[in-house]
């Protein structure tokens, strides 16, 4: 201070005295680092008196405001005592902990300063040095308390916000002034460090103030806090079908510290240690984090965006970002704190080196630094764990949202859109694409966090890393293209696999497995080119980014050498530790790039699907406002078409008809006339309708119900009871009546579990008639107003059909409106009205008598039916006697069986998963493929060489840096040579890792595909296709692209960690006493973690299969679900399944954070112990270099350990995919395709004679027999009819003939050759069949008629002519090349059966089996087809299974089967005249119905 007057007043003397006590003029010198000069620069100097006075003044002001806020809060009469209802923000918790620690640190340093002054100077003067620290500590402590207070009144809330805003500016001032001083003096004190750390504390203050004291109308918790507290007033209303525990996660009731340190997870981990975890052991997610809440939020954002954006384009990224920005911002704050605490590492290193060199600032500086380092590392761990926890939670919510959105979209997808998005592709959107996008939030902050870490460590390193990233840009761009290509190729492969797996029975019957396997292999070959490309690019990037911490130091040191900058232990190892700290983040850059690319490609694919056209006609009917509408259905349309293209030919035209309430209307006509399309139009399924469609259920809104029975039976996986109830409440009386009316009582008695028997996917363990009757029962149980029945009686025998029609249609539905599509002319007289269709038009409409009198076409239809039964019916029967005889026959034939007790196993079992500790088994399974052990061993050897080389390089620098015997040039030359040698090791390592991934991927897929095509039908009967699809999509994708690199990188980071331990133990031997118990604790913690985590990962895999299976099943039955109005119920079930999958996934990643946090704290203890030991042990002349080396390893140990454990967790999750795929690689195979020692001759069979001797069949071991000792002979060239009631064993008999199921006993001999002694391919390729369920494949007409491409176009056209398909194919654009969509959905059921007939005629086998092959064909076409078969196959043995008796009337012999037993085998006419004959009874029933 400058004095202007020599005589001062007493007041001035007092002021001077006070100033001297505060600042002490004598200490205002450069020696103490303090200056008393006035002006703005002195305020910026953190050591100046003016700076201290300024800070204390502000602190006093903040203390006053904080006191007032606290006083205001506790003096208020309105005090909220129910604190449990308040949602605690994690940011507030972090703010309290962080700023509390910061205030304690200030107070501790202030007290230490007082103690030090008393010890050294025996006085506490001057006051400013320690007073400023105490004021800082108290002000920060009271601010933390005031900001954390809840339920403040408006003035206090404003004061908190203003105070926190001011505190941010104040902290910016402290941070800038301290950093400027540190840069100028090149030294860092504890006070400067605390001043810098006050900046993130002030950000937390600001965040808490504005987030915690906002308006009550706003969401105080944001997305993240919503996950901690369940929605008030809502209950968990899951209609659970996933056997998941409904206990809400312990996180909901966890305290602050429990949330910070994941203590709330301990009970689950303890349970996992005591027993193997099951699905019901896992608590559910909180409701706000479940898929239902996520989807509702997404839907709100979507609607809002559509309102704002008139163009209609959707920005999915903006919806996701807007929905989760608060949580991402919160996680960003944690990421910033982590980066700031990480960047203190080099500062601590420099301070420790200074202490070792004897440049202590104060006596016990080493101890203070050790405590500071421990606190910094613990804070780094807490912030990073919360950062990752929040982003993982967001990713889980995003994945659940997209999965739900995709499911909802497929429920509304139009027919045209289905052609562009196959079921396999839609499943992959959920299992692959949604998962990839769900990973994106976790990696989002890594971009700037990595850059900031590098930048804060050293600007030179940042520049080098930027250059490396720029250099990798071409690779990144190429990788993006590869990802697009591979996803497209994967879609094609999945589409082909889905089609093959879904129709495996047909492939086996026709011996087409080899051909379809080759088709899939060729698609996989195209996909594999891009897999190799991605693996190679990942290998290049691995070399590029792993070598950067080697290349950058060499370039930097040579630059310093050339510029004449002195290299010493302090600056060299500060630089190296900076690089080592950012080494792992830098190595993550390729992963970040890959995640970004994968997420972008997947988001584009999902967005394209979500923007696909929807069914636009479903709400068309609601335009009518007449609530007293007297008709059930009214249609007036010029055109109805499946194709929305204006130039396309309409499917139906000039449709005009009315159906009154309670009327029964039949729709009949030839194959392909548009009958099913007319029903679909009324149901609102046809996208293009030019006209009006009004139906009763839309007028009556909630009071009108409709029921639909599809032509192709759609059966859910589940019990028979679940299929009949279809979501309705059980009414036992009505249920029993429905079962009786649908003729299901006897079937249920024969099943091992009755109506609780689990049905396989698509009802594979039921006969066609049983499936159709279950569909009818489902419709009847709904007690709807309008019934749409699409040819439901074609798959059942005559008696059952008659019973169903009389009891079901005419009696139970007597007062209901019924639209029935039927080829059974017998039933037509009972209808109020008949619609006769031809060529897509209703050509006639009227009653039966009216049409018979006025319509020639209708007369032809009736005459065709009468002609098929006329001559055969000319047998004299006594009407009454015959009826009585029929009853006797029923009694004789249908022997009452005792119900089979439910002691066996259900056909559909729960999905298998590995349990317990499998050790190295899955890794060895992965490595055994295609020289995997060799490639992995070589990769590890080069990795070891790399790590040892790094150690040698560091030791050379540490030992010789201060040596006078080695010149700088020699030092750097050796250092550089070692570095570039390491880069070569990295290149070789990457090369072998790529070879490992390529070989394993190729071998695993090849083995898996071979296993699937060689698996017996029993495997497909008991395994839902979704389980298989989840393995060949998401699991295989992980094996293709990730497994090899994850395995290599995990081993690498783990070895890096243990080498760091080794270096620390060697350089600071006392640390071994800490390291050894720490390693032991690490092993214990990992065992404790893996006991639960392993099972959680496996449960995640199995529940993912459930999601895929339900989605695939819902796609197949979308029309039925919509017709019953079950979209919401199925959507809810889907969301339950999504949550059942999300819950174990949630606990898996929380368990990861639990483990890593504990290991990080252990690492912090080791590091602190190392640092302290190094300062206390004498290490000789190289002390500074060795401590630099030790701390460079020690400070990066935290990072190495975290990355190592994290990679181990990722690898454990990925290896579950190997386990799951491996389960399906060892399925027992069918008999050999070819037995070289016993191959049939070229012309076999030449006669077609079939001898069946004591044939017994059961479907699986220990199951009851299905066929009981059948013996008969079919002479060559004869026509054999097989008859029996529904479920009697007819289809099983055919399955045994083709060896789909192997005989348990007996023989089947064809032309003197036992079929069980030859290969399956040799057998099936020489037989022909037209199966019960007609199937077409995606492709062309030519491909569907002749998949093996063995015939000319002329031959194909000739066969199409004979099958009555030539005109229909010629009408299509492209002819033989015209498109057939997957499952042949653009062709009618009858036309599909005709296609199957065409295949058989083209093949011209000596033995042909017709398994109810014309069930969906009208009588006229059927008559023509039968004549064609007789003419074309007159020398062949034709075995016909039929429910239409006329079909077998002209057979040479008829075989009758009942309950799996042969009851008769004779000529048709003899059987008809035989008393008690089953065939005679069936003929009589058919004749009675027809008459």
* Tens-digit pLDDT profile for residues 787-829: 999 888 877 767 778 888 888 888 888 888 899 988 778 788 8
Give the pLDDT mean for 5-28.
51
* Tens-digit pLDDT profile for residues 467-498: 666 766 677 777 777 877 888 888 888 888 88
Q: 621 vs 547, which has greater pLDDT?
A: 547
Q: Which of 99, 114, 107, 174 is nearest to 134 (CA)?
A: 107
Distance CA 950, CA 957 (A): 11
Give the pLDDT mean for 91-112.
79
End-to-end CA distance of the chain: 127
- Give the highest mean pLDDT range of 177-181, 444-448, 1313-1317: 1313-1317
Q: Is 916 left (phi over 0), alpha (psi -120 to 50) or beta?
A: left
Q: 867 vs 885, which has greater pLDDT?
A: 867
Q: For a pLDDT cut of 70, what percent of the chain falls above it? A: 79
* Tens-digit pLDDT profile for residues 1194-1231: 666 666 777 787 788 778 878 888 888 888 888 888 98
Lowest-confidence region among 390-394, 805-809, 1391-1395? 1391-1395
Tokens found for residue 1325 = 């390729």
Q: 140 vs 1491, which has greater pLDDT?
A: 140
pTM > 0.85: no
> How many other C-beta atoms lie within 10 A of the C-beta of residue 358?
6
pLDDT bracket for residue 1459 (50, 70, 90): confident
Q: 1428 vs 74, which has greater pLDDT?
A: 1428
User: Which contiguous run of DSSP H or E holds residue 1421?
Assistant: helix 1419-1432
- Give the highest mean pLDDT range of 115-129, 180-194, 398-412, 593-607: 398-412
Question: Which is it for strands 817-821 and 664-669: parallel, antiparallel or unpaired?
Answer: parallel
Tell me the HSE value of 884 on the side-chain side, using a 13 A CA sphere. Answer: 4
Q: Under 8 Å CB-to-CB from 453, ≥6 apart: which residues?
A: 339, 342, 343, 581, 582, 585
Alpha helices in 1224-1350 (DSSP H): 1290-1297, 1320-1324, 1341-1345
Q: What is the pLDDT of residue 153?
A: 63
Q: Under 8 Å CB-to-CB from 935, ≥6 apart: which residues?
A: 992, 993, 995, 996, 999
Q: Is residue 723 within 8 Å of 756, Cβ to Cβ? A: no
Distance CA 66, CA 1322 (A): 91
Q: Is 639 helix (H, G, I), strand (E, B) or coil?
A: strand
Q: What is the pLDDT of residue 776?
A: 92
Distance CA 253, CA 868 (A): 76
Q: What is the pLDDT of residue 21?
A: 61
pLDDT bracket for residue 399 (50, 70, 90): very high
Q: What is the pLDDT of residue 880?
A: 35
Q: Which of 1004, 1021, 1039, 929 is nearest to 1225 (CA)?
A: 1004
pLDDT bracket for residue 912 (50, 70, 90): low
Whether the pLDDT of residue 939 is over 80: the answer is yes
- Give the highest mean pLDDT range of 186-195, 202-211, 427-436: 427-436
pLDDT bracket for residue 1308 (50, 70, 90): very high
pLDDT bracket for residue 152 (50, 70, 90): low
* Tens-digit pLDDT profile for residues 324-382: 888 888 888 888 888 777 777 767 777 777 777 777 776 777 787 888 888 888 888 88
Q: What is the pLDDT of residue 703?
A: 41
Percentage helix, strand, coil for the chain under 3-state DSSP, each rounded to 5: 65, 10, 25
Distance CA 1132, CA 609 (A): 21
Q: What is the pLDDT of residue 68?
A: 75
Distance CA 366, CA 465 (A): 34
Q: Is residue 730 within 8 Å of 687, Cβ to Cβ? A: no
- Give the highest mean pLDDT range of 34-48, 770-784, 943-957: 770-784
Q: What is the pLDDT of residue 1179?
A: 52
Q: What is the pLDDT of residue 875?
A: 37
> How many other C-beta atoms lie within 10 A of the C-beta of residue 313?
10
* Tens-digit pLDDT profile for residues 769-785: 888 889 999 999 998 88
Q: Over the chain, what is the mean pLDDT?
A: 78
Reported residue count of the chain is 1491
* Tens-digit pLDDT profile for residues 633-673: 888 888 888 777 777 778 888 888 888 888 899 998 887 78
Question: Which is it for strands 1305-1310 and 1250-1257: parallel, antiparallel or unpaired?
Answer: antiparallel
Q: What is the pLDDT of residue 176?
A: 76
Q: 283 vs 202, which has greater pLDDT?
A: 283
Whether the pLDDT of residue 1396 is over 50: the answer is yes
Q: What is the pLDDT of residue 903?
A: 39
Q: What is the pLDDT of residue 230?
A: 38
Burial label, 363 (beta-carbon count in 10 A; 0-12, 13-18, 19+): exposed
Report the DSSP beta bridge partners of residue 828.
none
Q: Under 8 Å CB-to-CB from 154, ≥6 apart: which residues?
A: none
Whether the pLDDT of residue 12 is over 50: the answer is no
CB contact burial 425-457 (16+ within 10 A = b; e otherwise): bbbbbbbbbbbbbbbbbbbbbbeebbbbbbbbb
């Amino acid at each position: 201070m400058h004095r202007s007057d020599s005589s001062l007043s007493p007041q001035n003397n007092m002021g001077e005295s006070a100033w001297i006590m505060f600042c002490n003029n004598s200490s205002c010198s450069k020696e103490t680092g303090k200056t008393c000069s006035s002006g703005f620069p002195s305020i910026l100097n953190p050591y100046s008196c003016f700076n201290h006075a300024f800070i204390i003044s502000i602190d006093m002001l903040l203390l006053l405001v904080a006191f007032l806020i606290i006083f205001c809060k506790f003096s208020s009469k309105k005090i909220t005592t129910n604190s449990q209802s308040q949602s605690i923000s994690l940011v507030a918790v972090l703010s309290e902990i962080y700023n509390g620690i910061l205030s304690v640190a200030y107070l501790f340093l202030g007290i230490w300063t007082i103690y030090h002054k008393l010890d050294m100077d025996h006085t506490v003067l001057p006051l400013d040095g320690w007073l400023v620290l105490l004021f800082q500590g108290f002000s920060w402590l009271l601010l933390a308390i005031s900001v954390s207070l809840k339920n403040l009144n408006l003035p206090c809330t404003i004061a908190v916000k203003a105070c926190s805003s001011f505190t941010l500016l104040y902290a910016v001032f402290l941070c800038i002034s301290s950093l400027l001083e540190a840069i100028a003096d090149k030294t860092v004190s504890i006070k400067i460090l605390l001043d810098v750390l006050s900046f993130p504390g002030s950000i937390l203050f600001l965040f808490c103030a504005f987030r915690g004291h906002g308006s009550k109308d706003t969401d105080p918790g944001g997305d993240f806090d919503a996950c901690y507290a369940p929605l008030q007033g809502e209950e968990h209303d899951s209609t659970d079908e996933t056997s998941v525990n409904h206990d809400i996660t312990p996180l909901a009731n966890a305290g602050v510290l429990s949330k910070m340190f994941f203590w709330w997870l301990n009970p689950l981990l303890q349970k996992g240690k005591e027993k193997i975890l099951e699905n019901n052991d896992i608590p559910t997610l909180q409701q706000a984090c479940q898929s239902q809440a996520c989807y509702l939020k997404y839907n709100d954002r979507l609607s809002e965006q559509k309102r704002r954006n008139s163009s209609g384009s959707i920005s999915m990224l903006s919806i996701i970002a807007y929905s989760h920005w608060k949580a991402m911002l919160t996680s960003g704050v944690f990421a910033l704190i982590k980066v700031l605490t990480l960047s203190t590492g080099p500062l601590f290193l420099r301070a420790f080196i200074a202490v070792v060199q004897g440049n202590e600032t104060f006596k016990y500086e080493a101890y203070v630094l050790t405590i500071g380092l421990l606190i910094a590392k613990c804070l780094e761990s807490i912030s990073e764990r919360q950062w990752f926890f929040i982003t993982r939670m967001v990713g889980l919510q995003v994945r659940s949202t997209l999965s739900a959105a995709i499911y909802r979209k497929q429920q509304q997808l139009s027919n045209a859109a289905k052609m562009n998005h196959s079921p396999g592709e839609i499943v992959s959107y959920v299992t692959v694409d949604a998962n990839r996008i769900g990973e994106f939030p976790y990696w989002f902050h890594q971009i700037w966090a990595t850059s900031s870490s590098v930048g804060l460590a050293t600007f030179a390193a940042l520049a080098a890393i930027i250059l490396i990233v720029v250099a990798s840009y071409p690779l990144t761009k190429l990788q993006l293209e590869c990802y697009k290509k591979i996803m497209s190729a994967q879609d094609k492969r999945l589409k082909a696999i889905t089609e093959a797996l879904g129709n495996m029975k047909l492939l086996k019957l026709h011996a087409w497995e080899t051909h379809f396997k080759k088709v899939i292999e060729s698609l996989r070959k195209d996909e594999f080119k891009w897999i190799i490309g991605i693996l190679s690019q990942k290998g290049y990037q691995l070399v590029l980014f792993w070598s950067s911490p080697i290349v950058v130091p060499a370039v930097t040191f040579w630059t310093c050498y050339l510029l004449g900058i002195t290299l010493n232990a302090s600056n060299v190892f500060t630089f190296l530790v900076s690089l080592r700290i950012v080494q792992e983040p830098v190595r993550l850059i390729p992963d970040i790039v890959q995640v970004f690319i994968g997420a972008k490609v997947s988001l584009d694919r999902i967005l394209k699907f979500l923007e696909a056209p929807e069914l636009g006609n479903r709400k068309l009917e609601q335009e009518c406002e007449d609530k007293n509408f007297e008709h059930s259905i009214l249609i007036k349309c010029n055109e109805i078409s499946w194709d929305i293209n204006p130039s396309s030919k309409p499917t139906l035209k000039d449709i005009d008809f009315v159906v009154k309430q309670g009327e029964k209307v039949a729709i009949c006509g030839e194959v392909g006339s548009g009958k099913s399309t007319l029903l679909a139009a009324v149901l609102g399924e046809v996208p293009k309708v030019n006209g009006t469609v009004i139906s009763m259920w839309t007028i009556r809104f909630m009071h009108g119900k409709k029921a639909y029975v599809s032509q192709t039976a759609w059966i859910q996986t589940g019990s028979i009871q679940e299929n009949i109830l279809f979501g309705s409440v059980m009414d036992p009386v009505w249920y029993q009546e429905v079962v009786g009316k649908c003729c299901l009582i006897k079937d249920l008695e024969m099943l091992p579990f009755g109506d609780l028997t689990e049905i396989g996917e698509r009802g594979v363990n039921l006969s066609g008639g049983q499936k159709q009757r279950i569909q009818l029962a489902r419709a009847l149980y709904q007690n709807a107003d309008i019934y749409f029945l699409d040819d439901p009686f074609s798959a059942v025998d005559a008696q059952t059909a008659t019973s169903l029609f009389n009891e079901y249609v005419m009696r139970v539905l007597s007062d209901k409106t019924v639209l029935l599509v039927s080829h059974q002319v017998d039933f037509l007289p009972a209808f109020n009205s008949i619609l006769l269709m031809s060529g897509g038009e209703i050509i006639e409409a009227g009653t039966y008598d009216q049409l018979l009198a006025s319509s020639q076409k209708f007369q032809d239809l009736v005459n065709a039916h009468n002609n098929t039964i006329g001559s055969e019916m000319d047998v004299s029967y006594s009407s009454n006697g015959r009826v009585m005889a029929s009853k006797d026959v029923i009694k004789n034939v249908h022997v009452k069986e005792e119900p089979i007790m439910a002691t066996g196993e259900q056909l559909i079992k729960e999905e298998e998963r590995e349990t317990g500790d499998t050790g190295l088994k899955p890794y060895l399974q992965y490595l055994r493929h295609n020289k995997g052990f060799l490639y992995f061993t070589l990769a590890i050897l080069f990795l070891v060489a790399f790590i040892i080389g790094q150690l040698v390089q560091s030791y050379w620098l540490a030992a010789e840096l201060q040596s006078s015997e080695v010149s700088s040039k020699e030092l750097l030359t050796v250092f550089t040579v070692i570095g570039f040698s390491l880069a070569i090791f990295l290149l070789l390592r990457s090369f072998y890792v790529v070879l490992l991934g390529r070989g394993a991927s190729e071998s695993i897929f090849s083995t898996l595909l071979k296993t699937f095509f060689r698996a017996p039908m029993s495997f497909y009967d008991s395994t839902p296709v979704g389980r298989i699809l989840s393995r060949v999509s998401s699991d295989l994708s992980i094996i293709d692209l990730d497994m090899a690199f994850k395995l290599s990188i995990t081993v690498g980071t783990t070895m890096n960690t243990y080498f760091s331990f080794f270096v620390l133990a060697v350089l600071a031997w006392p640390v071994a006493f800490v390291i050894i118990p720490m390693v032991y604790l690490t092993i214990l913690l990992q065992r404790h973690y893996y006991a639960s985590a392993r099972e959680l990962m496996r449960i995640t895999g199995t529940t993912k299969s459930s999601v895929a299976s339900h989605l695939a099943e819902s796609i197949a039955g979308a029309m039925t679900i919509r017709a019953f109005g079950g979209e919401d119920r199925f959507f809810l079930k889907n969301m339950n399944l999504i949550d059942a999958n999300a819950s174990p996934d949630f606990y898996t990643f929380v368990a990861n954070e639990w483990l890593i946090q504990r290991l990080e704290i252990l690492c912090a203890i080791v590091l602190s112990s190392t640092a302290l030991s190094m300062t206390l042990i004498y290490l000789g002349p190289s002390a500074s270099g060795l401590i630099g080396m030790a701390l460079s390893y020690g400070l990066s140990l935290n990072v190495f350990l975290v990355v190592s454990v994290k990679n181990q967790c990722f690898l454990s999750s990925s290896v579950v995919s190997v386990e799951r795929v491996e389960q399906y690689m060892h399925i027992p195979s069918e008999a050999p395709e070819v037995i070289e020692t016993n191959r049939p001759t070229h012309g076999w069979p030449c006669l077609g004679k079939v001898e069946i001797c004591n044939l017994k069949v059961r479907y699986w071991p220990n199951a009851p027999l299905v066929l009981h000792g059948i013996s008969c002979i079919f002479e060559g060239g004869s026509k054999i009819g097989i008859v029996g009631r529904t479920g009697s064993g007819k289809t099983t008999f055919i399955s045994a003939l083709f060896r789909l199921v192997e005989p348990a006993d007996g023989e089947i001999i064809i032309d003197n050759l036992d079929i069980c002694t030859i290969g399956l391919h040799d057998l099936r390729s020489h037989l022909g069949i037209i199966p019960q369920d007609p199937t077409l494949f995606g492709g062309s007409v030519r491909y569907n008629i002749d998949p093996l491409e063995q015939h000319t176009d002329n031959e194909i056209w000739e066969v199409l002519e004979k099958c009555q398909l030539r005109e229909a194919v010629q009408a299509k654009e492209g002819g033989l090349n015209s498109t057939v969509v997957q499952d042949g959905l653009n062709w009618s059921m009858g036309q599909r059966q005709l296609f199957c007939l065409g295949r058989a005629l083209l093949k011209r086998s000596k033995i042909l089996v017709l398994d109810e092959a014309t069930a969906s064909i009208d009588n006229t076409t059927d008559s023509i087809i039968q004549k064609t078969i007789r003419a074309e196959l007159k020398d062949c043995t034709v075995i016909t299974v039929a429910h239409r008796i006329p079909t077998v009337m002209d057979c040479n012999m008829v075989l009758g089967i009942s309950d799996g037993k042969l009851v008769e085998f004779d000529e048709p006419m003899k059987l008809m005249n035989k008393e008690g004959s089953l065939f005679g009874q069936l003929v009589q029933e058919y004749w009675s119905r027809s008459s």
